[in-house]
């Protein structure tokens, strides 16, 4: 029989890819935070449906303490069959949960989802009572997120500040607008607390200066005579991109693709997959909420604005001076986040820089995998490796000029190495400062950093909190921190 968790995970990732494909008429869960939210809902529904049938005792890697499912509300399962529980029953429950959640989140793809339901039912069989139970679980999970769309302010209501250091629209993409303005106000999925994030380094700090100089040299457009990026650094930038591009999707899709490879290598059981994929996607859901709260709280400019407007004589609030002083360069352009498979120029993502969403999502995922399999010392590397061909570099994806990017198979020997490269990849695209992700200059410095600066410590802390608390829904989700960041 086919593993129903991996089957529906693949369907969900394909929904993400198609949702970001120009040929699709419907746009359902576009963007990184909405994608993470959708994947969390689908995998939490599958998790509770599977263990509602298999029993709470079957949950692997539970921390000490009471054992419970994600949902606090009791959803009576169908009458239990005599043990051992047939796989057909578990698969039917998972399929009921996944197909119901996906049809709600991606209603324009209903025909495709129903085709996949028929496919797995033909392989694994079905059970009406278990399928109905799975549907009830999915509806209950969806009900917990019913008010997410009502958060304010809306993206179209956002007005950027003209002040120094503040985020504004990419000057190379003037019509892009803003994204996720209110996403940081949604309730947590399972995090028991808001993880406090330190402010980014001030402009006078040597860390800011060092990171400014780094992205100026490593993240510039190739035609600039100031750019000194190596081919491997360019490959790292593109490998991890997934910036909502056509036929590619968003970062949560990539991180799920990686965890799929790890799960297959480890020989996971269906129970282990149900738990692992719920944990990583729940962590990403909360990472998106918390990172976007801090993004619009600190409202820090990205390099394309920060480098162009570093001098007091540049920018909307400029004051006159005799010349433009170094290191300001009003004509600098980043390599940019790629618009893969489209004849369009690269861009800077439409939300503030700090902290990096990529770094937050990736750290939440990879730290959760570290905890699930090895429980390593937080300051040391793990040994969980993988090899993956990124869809950005699969030998079919095209650049803005229509040329096909060379296929590149990349190997990582640990989750920590992947966490680091994922974070610094944004420097090489010129869309983030190093401190947006991690202040560490290498993997060991990243792991051993004692500060709370950037998306890596934020994502890691969220993963640890959810893993240690057992991933249970909070009766009273923690409220975002109050006060002004800027």
Task: Give the chain's count of helices (H) and strands (E).
Answer: 14, 2
Structure tokens at 207: 């860390």
Tokens 């909190």 correspond to: 465
Residue 196: its pLDDT value, please? 86
- Does the pTM surpass 0.85? The reply is yes
pLDDT in tens, 397-435: 999 999 999 999 999 999 999 999 999 999 999 999 999
Q: How many other β-carbons are positioned within 10 Å of the β-carbon of residue 483?
A: 6
Contact 410, 390 (CB under 8 A): yes
Check whether 24 has a pLDDT greater than 60. Answer: no
Q: What are phi and psi of 315, to 5 degrees?
A: 95, 170
Q: Where are the alpha helices (H) located in 299-397, listed in sequence order?
A: 303-306, 357-373
Please answer whether residues 132 and 96 qualify as being in contact, where contact means their C-beta atoms are separated by less than 8 angstroms: yes
Separation of alpha carbons 212 and 9, rounded Å: 39
Alpha-carbon 302 to chain mean position: 19
> What pLDDT, on the 0 to 100 scale, is given for residue 75?
73
- Separation CA 263–CA 267 (nearest Å): 6
State the Cα–Cα distance between residues 466 and 220, nearest whole angstrom: 38
Greatest distance between any 2 Cα atoms in the chain: 85
Query: If you ran DSSP here, which 8-state letter would residue 129 be given?
Result: H
50, 274 contact by CB (below 8 A)? yes
The token pair at 213 is: 């100089």
Span between the terminal Cα atoms of the chain, in Å: 55
pLDDT-derived band at 61 (thresholds 50, 70, 90) equals: confident
Express each pLDDT in 300-333 by its tens digit.
999 999 999 999 999 998 899 889 999 999 999 9
Condensed to tens digits (0 to 9), the pLDDT of residues 113-168 reads 999 999 999 999 999 999 999 999 999 999 999 989 888 788 998 999 999 999 99
Q: Say what the pLDDT of residue 27 is.
A: 73
Domains and CATH numbers, the chain: 1-145 (1.20.144.10), 153-486 (1.10.606.10)
């Amino acid at each position: 029989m086919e593993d129903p968790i991996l089957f529906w995970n693949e369907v969900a990732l394909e929904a993400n890819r198609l949702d970001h494909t120009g040929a699709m008429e419907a746009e359902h869960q576009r963007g990184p935070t909405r994608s993470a939210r959708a994947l969390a809902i689908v995998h939490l529904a599958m998790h509770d449906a599977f263990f509602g049938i298999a029993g709470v005792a079957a949950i692997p890697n539970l921390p000490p303490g009471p054992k419970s499912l994600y949902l606090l509300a009791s959803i009576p399962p169908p009458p239990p069959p005599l043990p051992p529980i047939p796989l057909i029953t578990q698969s039917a429950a998972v399929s009921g949960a996944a197909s119901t959640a996906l049809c709600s989140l991606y209603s324009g793809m209903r025909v495709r989802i129903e085709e996949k339901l028929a496919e797995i039912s033909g392989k694994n069989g079905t059970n009406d009572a278990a399928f109905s139970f799975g549907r009830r679980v999915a509806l209950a999970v969806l009900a917990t997120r019913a008010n997410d769309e009502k958060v304010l302010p809306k993206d179209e209501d956002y007005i950027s500040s003209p002040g120094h250091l503040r985020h504004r629209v990419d000057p190379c993409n003037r019509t892009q607008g803003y994204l996720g303005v209110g996403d940081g106000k949604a309730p947590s999925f399972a995090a028991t607390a808001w993880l406090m994030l330190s402010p980014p380094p001030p402009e006078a700090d040597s860390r800011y200066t060092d990171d400014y100089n780094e992205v100026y040299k490593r993240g510039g457009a190739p035609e600039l005579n100031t750019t000194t990026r190596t081919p491997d650094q360019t490959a790292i930038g593109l490998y991890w991109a997934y910036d909502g591009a056509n036929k590619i999707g968003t970062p949560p899709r990539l991180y799920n693709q990686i965890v799929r490879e790890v799960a297959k290598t480890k020989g996971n059981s269906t129970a282990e997959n149900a738990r692992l994929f719920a944990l990583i996607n729940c962590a990403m859901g909360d990472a998106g909420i918390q990172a976007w709260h801090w993004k619009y709280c600190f409202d820090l400019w990205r390099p394309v604005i920060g480098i162009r407007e570093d001098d007091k004589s540049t920018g909307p609030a400029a004051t006159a001076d005799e010349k433009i002083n170094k290191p300001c360069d009003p004509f600098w352009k980043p390599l940019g986040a790629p618009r893969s498979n489209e004849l369009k120029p690269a861009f800077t993502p439409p939300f503030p820089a700090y902290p990096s969403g990529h770094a937050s999502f990736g750290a939440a995922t990879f730290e959760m995998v570290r905890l699930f399999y090895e429980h390593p010392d937080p300051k040391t590397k793990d040994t969980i490796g993988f090899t993956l061909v990124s869809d950005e570099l699969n030998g079919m994806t095209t650049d803005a000029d229509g040329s096909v990017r060379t296929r590149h198979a990349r190997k990582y020997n640990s989750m920590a190495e992947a966490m680091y490269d994922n974070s610094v990849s944004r420097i090489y695209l010129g869309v983030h400062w190093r401190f947006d992700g991690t202040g560490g200059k290498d993997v060991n410095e990243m792991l051993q950093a004692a500060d709370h600066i950037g998306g890596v410590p934020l994502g890691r802390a969220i993963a640890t909190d959810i893993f240690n608390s057992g991933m249970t829904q909070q009766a009273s989700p923690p409220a975002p921190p109050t006060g002004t960041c800027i």
